[in-house]
């Protein structure tokens, strides 16, 4: 094939494929040769001899192959040979097949003379289809080879360059390194702590939140601006992500700033979610166990078994002392008489020390460690009715009794934000980080996140993007960097202070401050019960003795 070309043109073709070989060096890439009309392309000889280290597939058909994405687990590179007359239609077929493979490098050869207008038309179509990494050239036997590509930002610009010698020429350049101030259209969900709106000191509306910090840092990294698109969907309880998926699918926004748990239910729209920004869970936030009331502490001084043993010992020693005959069996009777006094002293000091330690540091109520504990106790989980029906059917059937369901999210947020301990609450991990940051300013924590009572555990959490977004790879790389640097958690913690600055929250100690109080009558409830029981027993014994005495008197008088 190359023998039919001018020597200089043949050398340029070798230089071009030298660039291709250099680009593929060290990559595990599958080469796909797209030639729907079976044309005699310039690379028809080279691919069999010079690029044999890579898997190669020849695709010679004129209809789309939408399942191409599911056939490969490694990188792809497409070498396309298009005819001049049908180049636009053939490129559209290829774009439909590469719907989920927008980042695939694409080298296009158009079988015909050089036409700059056609190159501009085809590359404009590639930009419209979000196919950025495209190089195009025309097969010309009389002119030098010109390589066409384009700059997408700030607007479409055709780029031409020669490949003679191959020096200083780079193919498939990353076009997203510098967006030249291009503005990304982002939509905040206005759901704290993800994003929220507030008025600054100048009276202008501003957006803050940890997702806003995430996207602004990403935009500054690629020299892009942000254009905020305000949400206007009705507040009917549907998740924000369901609306944002519609906005991105229609091309109205580039990024939807809301967190979405990637589950089996929404896996069908996975091409509209970013690489997970963190691994989240959906668990239960429980009130921290309270100390036992003072009245219950007296029951913990002695266990019943020890009390019975001590009582038996006291009775036995008392009998021994009251009947001196038993003392004759003992070598030292004086020691036997001192035993009850020593036991009384030991019991008094031990119980006093135990009671003092319990009053200073009282134990807590039994810790809730499972949903079964909630079923057996009085604690209820306050949750949204719409969220409850997302749970597994078997779970709902068994544990419906532990939930108190409402339809008003504002009521739930108000109770939760004011640390109302009447209820437990469902809580995602990222929101727990904010709650826990606020609790750092308390005298003691009020709530704890129970990882034993989770509804969804270890689930990837993403934000919404346009289908097969051109920013997906850059967002993925940025997410890796931000996570490794600890920026994601830093921004989540920071969002609490942003809400304080915006007047949406305040630094206040919602914990109950414990004050030392003197013992009162109610605290000695167990003591009064024991005394009352002893008096009742003594009274009964006294009445029995009286009854026995008067019965004998009555019988003697007969």
**What is the reported pLDDT for 87?**
87
Q: Which of 198, 217, 220, 228 is nearest to 277 (CA)?
A: 217
Q: What is the mean pLDDT of residues 406-423?
A: 88
pTM: 0.77
List Cβ neighbours of 521 (8 Å cut-off, separation of 6 or more).
528
| Per-chain mean pLDDT for the chain | 83
Beta-strand relationship, 157-162 and 183-188? unpaired
Residue 179 predicted with pLDDT over 70: yes
Percent of the chain with pLDDT over 70: 87
How far is 308 from 33, CA to CA, in rounded Å? 91
Cα 407 vs. chain centroid, distance in angstroms? Answer: 24
In sequence order, what E strands does 165-305 have? 183-188, 196-199, 205-208, 225-228, 255-261, 278-287
Given pLDDT bands bounded at 50, 70 and 90, which one contains residue 356? confident
pLDDT at 256: 92
Q: What confidence score (pLDDT) does residue 287 get?
A: 92
- What is each CA distance from 50 to 45, 47, 475, in whole angstroms? 9, 6, 35
| Number of neighbouring beta carbons within 10 Å of residue 465 | 23
CA–CA dist 304, 383 (Å, integer)? 42
Q: Out of 224-228, 230-234, 468-472, give the one with best mean pLDDT.
A: 224-228
Query: Helix, strand, coil: what percent of the chain each, to 5?
Result: 45, 20, 35
Give 106-143 pLDDT, tens digit per residue.
Answer: 999 998 888 889 999 999 999 988 889 999 998 876 67
pLDDT band with cut points at 50, 70 and 90 for residue 6 = very low
Instruction: Tell the residue number behind the tokens 């025309």, with chain if given.
Output: 138
pLDDT in tens, 201-217: 888 889 999 999 999 99
The number of C-alpha atoms within 13 Å of 393 and in the hemisphere containing its C-beta is 0
Q: What is the pLDDT of residue 4?
A: 46
Alpha-carbon distances, residue 99 vs 68, 69, 194, 242, 465 (angstroms): 9, 8, 30, 22, 15
Tell the residue number behind the tokens 């996570």, with chain if given: 483
pLDDT at 318: 66
Pairing of strands 447-465, 278-287: antiparallel
CA nearest to 431, candidates 302, 329, 280 = 280
Q: Which of 45-59, 80-94, 408-422, 435-449 has the lowest mean pLDDT?
A: 45-59
Choose the weakest-confidence range: 16-30, 67-81, 371-385, 492-506.
67-81
Segment (H or E) for 82 = strand 75-83
**pLDDT at residue number 298:** 75
Residue 493 near residue 434, CB atoms below 8 Å: yes
Dist CA 268 CA 264 (whole Å): 8
Q: Indicate if the pLDDT at residue 232 is higher than 90.
A: no
Looking at per-residue confidence, does 334 or 408 come out higher? 408
Tell me which long-range contacts 441-446 makes (C-beta under 8 A, separation of at least 24): 441/507, 441/508, 441/509, 442/509, 442/510, 442/511, 443/509, 443/511, 443/513, 444/288, 444/511, 445/288, 445/511, 446/287, 446/288, 446/419, 446/421, 446/510, 446/511
DSSP annotation of 273 reads B
Q: Are 179 and 222 in contact (CB under 8 A)?
A: yes
């Amino acid at each position: 094939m190359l023998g039919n070309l001018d020597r200089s043109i043949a050398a340029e073709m070798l230089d071009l494929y030298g660039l291709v070989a250099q680009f593929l060096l060290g990559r595990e890439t599958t080469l796909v040769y797209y030639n729907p009309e079976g044309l005699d392309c310039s690379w028809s000889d080279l691919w069999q001899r010079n690029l044999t280290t890579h898997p190669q597939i020849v695709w010679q058909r004129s209809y789309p192959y939408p399942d191409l994405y599911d056939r490969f687990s490694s990188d792809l590179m497409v070498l396309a040979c298009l005819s001049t007359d049908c180049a636009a239609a053939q490129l559209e077929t290829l774009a439909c097949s590469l719907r989920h493979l927008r980042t695939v490098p694409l080298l296009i050869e158009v079988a015909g003379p050089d036409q700059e207008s056609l190159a501009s038309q085809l590359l404009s179509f590639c930009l419209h289809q979000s196919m950025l990494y495209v190089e195009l050239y025309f097969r010309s036997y009389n002119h030098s080879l010109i390589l066409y590509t384009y700059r997408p930002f700030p607007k479409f610009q055709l780029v031409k360059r020669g490949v003679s010698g191959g020096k200083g020429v780079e193919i498939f350049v990353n076009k997203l390194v510098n967006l030249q101030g291009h503005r990304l259209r982002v939509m905040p969900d206005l759901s704290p702590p993800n994003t929220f709106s507030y008025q600054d000191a100048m009276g202008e509306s501003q957006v803050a939140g940890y997702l806003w910090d995430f996207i602004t840092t990403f935009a500054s990294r690629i020299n892009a601006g942000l254009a905020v698109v305000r949400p206007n969907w009705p507040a009917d309880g549907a998740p924000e992500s369901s609306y944002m998926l519609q906005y991105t699918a229609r091309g109205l926004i580039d990024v939807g700033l809301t967190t979405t748990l990637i589950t089996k239910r929404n896996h069908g729209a996975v091409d509209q979610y970013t690489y997970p920004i963190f691994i989240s869970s959906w668990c239960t936030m429980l009130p921290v166990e309270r100390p036992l009331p003072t009245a219950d502490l007296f029951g913990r001084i002695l266990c019943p078994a020890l009390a019975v043993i001590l009582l038996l010992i006291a009775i036995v020693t008392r009998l021994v002392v009251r009947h001196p005959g038993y003392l004759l069996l003992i070598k030292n009777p004086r020691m036997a008489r001192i035993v009850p006094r020593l036991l009384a002293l030991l019991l008094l000091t031990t119980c006093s020390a135990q009671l003092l330690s319990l009053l200073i540091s009282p134990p807590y109520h039994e810790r809730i460690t499972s949903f079964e504990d909630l079923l057996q106790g009085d604690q209820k989980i306050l949750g949204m009715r719409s969220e409850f029906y997302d749970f597994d059917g078997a779970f709902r059937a068994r544990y419906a009794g532990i939930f108190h369901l409402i339809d008003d999210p504002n009521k739930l947020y108000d109770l939760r934000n004011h640390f109302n301990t009447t209820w437990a609450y469902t809580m995602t991990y990222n929101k727990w980080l904010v709650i826990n940051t606020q609790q750092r300013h308390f005298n003691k924590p009020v709530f704890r996140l129970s990882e034993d009572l989770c509804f969804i555990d270890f689930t990837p959490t993403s934000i919404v993007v346009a289908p097969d977004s051109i920013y997906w790879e850059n967002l993925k790389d940025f997410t890796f960097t931000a996570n490794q640097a600890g920026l994601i958690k830093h921004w989540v913690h920071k969002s609490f202070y942003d809400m304080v600055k915006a007047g949406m929250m305040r630094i206040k100690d919602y914990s109950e401050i414990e004050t030392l109080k003197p013992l009162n009558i109610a605290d000695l409830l167990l003591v009064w019960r024991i005394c009352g029981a002893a008096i009742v027993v003594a009274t009964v014994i006294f009445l029995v003795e009286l009854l026995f005495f008067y019965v004998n008197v009555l019988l003697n008088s007969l």
